[in-house]
């Protein structure tokens, strides 16, 4: 079965595409070393930093939104200062709201098979064994959700977080729709006894932001604790670049507290060595993608901040597709991206935790099982 042709988009292309759906995004330093995409005119301030920011920029502030649980506020600017939000945030010592890319949006589209006349002949993927580890290991998946695919729906721990398949209402499946179901299937294939807890933070159009990811991390941790469970691993499949190549402050501060959970993140698909956040945080396991030959995939990010590498080309997993009449069709797909390498490493961590290793040991064992051996090509900043 042939793969659909590779599709590459610049960050500017994505900004324009998402703007057509009403998202007001700013491309900072286009084509430069500090290129990044942010929510236009949004500053993110902690409760302690809010008053100094308001005192300094009050004449330009249009709206302030508080989140009492996160102890954060979104400050929305007005007028021409909206386009200066990156510089104003830097001057005030606060953050902007960076846009995170769903990794495979930069490379390829899923190829569904085994479910109907429109699919090329291919064997149906076998369902992962139905088992549940004791003691349990919980894997959180922050993505687009997870549909009640046959692989999942009869497992006693499963709670569906249905995918949004057509957020733009154009009668066609969105580019990133089905991504969370696919990623969860990769985890299940490699750690069939784990309990998967999906949480939606990534839009079916292929992006999210700092604020949404941090809120999702906290919501996931609360929901797992409310069930009396312990979150062993969490996998993040989206990330961002920043103007100064430093981690967004709210992400850095949030993940500093995740000492009992191994956080695994996709390294991104820009073919760069530039840090991709949150994967590049030292506390996070950053995962690059390889081809079947074990060489780093041409599209994969790499660099000294990458910790592991796993197969990310022509990965196969569970998938959901729109069907006439608002129905859903479940099947299987093949997709490429670091998004699909990361859950394999997360599953290796889960297996090590189930064997009695502590989080640090589990992290080390997973990185040993999926070693990153550097690039086979010259990456460019």
Give the residue from 322, 318, 315 showing the smallest Cα distance to 181.
318
CA gap 275, 284 in Å, rounded: 12
Considering the candidates 28, 98, 149, 179, report the single residue annotated as catalytic: 179
CA gap 37, 29 in Å, rounded: 9
Contacts of 208 (CB under 8 A, 6+ apart): 99, 100, 102, 201, 202, 238
CA gap 312, 73 in Å, rounded: 37
Considering the candidates 143, 174, 210, 307, report the single residue annotated as catalytic: 143
Considering the candidates 103, 302, 318, 339, report the single residue annotated as catalytic: 339
Largest CA distance in the chain: 64
Q: How many CB atoms lie within 10 A of CB 37?
A: 23
**Helix/strand/coil (H/E/C) assignment for every residue in 96-127:** EEEEEEEHHHHCCCCEEECCCCCCCCCCCCCC
Where residue 171 falls (left for φ over 0; alpha for ψ -120 to 50; beta otherwise) is: left
- Residue 14, SS3? helix
CA gap 350, 345 in Å, rounded: 9
Q: Decide if 320 contacts 178 (C-beta within 8 A).
A: yes
What percent of the chain is helix, strand and coil (3-state, nearest 5)?
30, 25, 45
Contacts of 10 (CB under 8 A, 6+ apart): none
Contacts of 196 (CB under 8 A, 6+ apart): 138, 139, 140, 141, 146, 152, 157, 158, 184, 187, 188
The answer to whether 143 is a known catalytic residue is: yes
CA gap 11, 30 in Å, rounded: 9
Q: Where in the sequence numbering do the catalytic residues fall?
A: 143, 179, 339
């Amino acid at each position: 079965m042939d793969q659909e042709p590779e599709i590459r988009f610049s960050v500017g292309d994505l900004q324009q595409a998402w703007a057509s759906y009403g998202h007001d995004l700013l491309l900072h330093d286009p084509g430069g070393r500090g290129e990044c995409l942010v929510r236009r005119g949004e500053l993110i301030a902690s409760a302690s930093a809010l008053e100094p920011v308001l005192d300094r920029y009050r004449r330009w502030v249009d709206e302030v939104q508080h989140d009492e649980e996160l102890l954060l506020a979104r400050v929305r600017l007005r007028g021409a200062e909206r386009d200066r939000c990156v510089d104003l945030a830097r001057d005030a010592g606060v953050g902007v709201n960076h846009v995170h890319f769903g990794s495979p949006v930069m490379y390829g589209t899923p190829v569904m098979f085994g479910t109907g006349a429109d699919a090329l002949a291919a064997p149906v993927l076998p369902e992962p064994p139905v088992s549940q580890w004791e003691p349990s290991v919980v894997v959180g998946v922050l993505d687009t959700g997870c549909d009640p695919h046959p692989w999942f729906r009869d497992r006693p721990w499963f709670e569906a977080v249905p995918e949004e398949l057509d957020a733009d209402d154009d009668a066609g499946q969105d580019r990133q729709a089905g991504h969370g179901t696919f990623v969860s299937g990769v985890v299940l294939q490699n750690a069939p006894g784990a309990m998967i807890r999906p949480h939606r933070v990534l839009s079916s159009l292929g992006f999210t932001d700092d604020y949404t990811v941090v809120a999702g991390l906290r919501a996931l941790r609360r929901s797992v604790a409310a069930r009396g469970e312990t979150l062993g691993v969490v996998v993040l499949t989206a990330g961002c670049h920043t103007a100064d190549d430093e981690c967004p402050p709210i992400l850095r501060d949030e993940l500093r507290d995740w000492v009992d959970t191994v956080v695994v993140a996709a390294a991104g698909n820009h073919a760069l060595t530039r840090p991709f956040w949150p994967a590049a945080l030292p506390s996070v396991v950053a995962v690059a993608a390889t081809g079947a030959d074990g060489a780093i995939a041409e599209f994969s990010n790499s660099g000294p901040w990458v910790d592991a590498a796993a197969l990310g080309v022509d990965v196969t997993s569970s998938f959901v597709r729109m069907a006439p009449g608002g129905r859903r069709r479940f099947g299987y797909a093949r997709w490429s991206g670091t998004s699909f390498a990361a859950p394999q490493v997360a599953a290796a961590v889960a297996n090590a935790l189930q064997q009695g290793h502590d989080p640090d040991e589990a992290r080390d064992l997973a990185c040993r099982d999926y070693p990153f051996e550097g690039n086979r090509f010259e990456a460019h900043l």
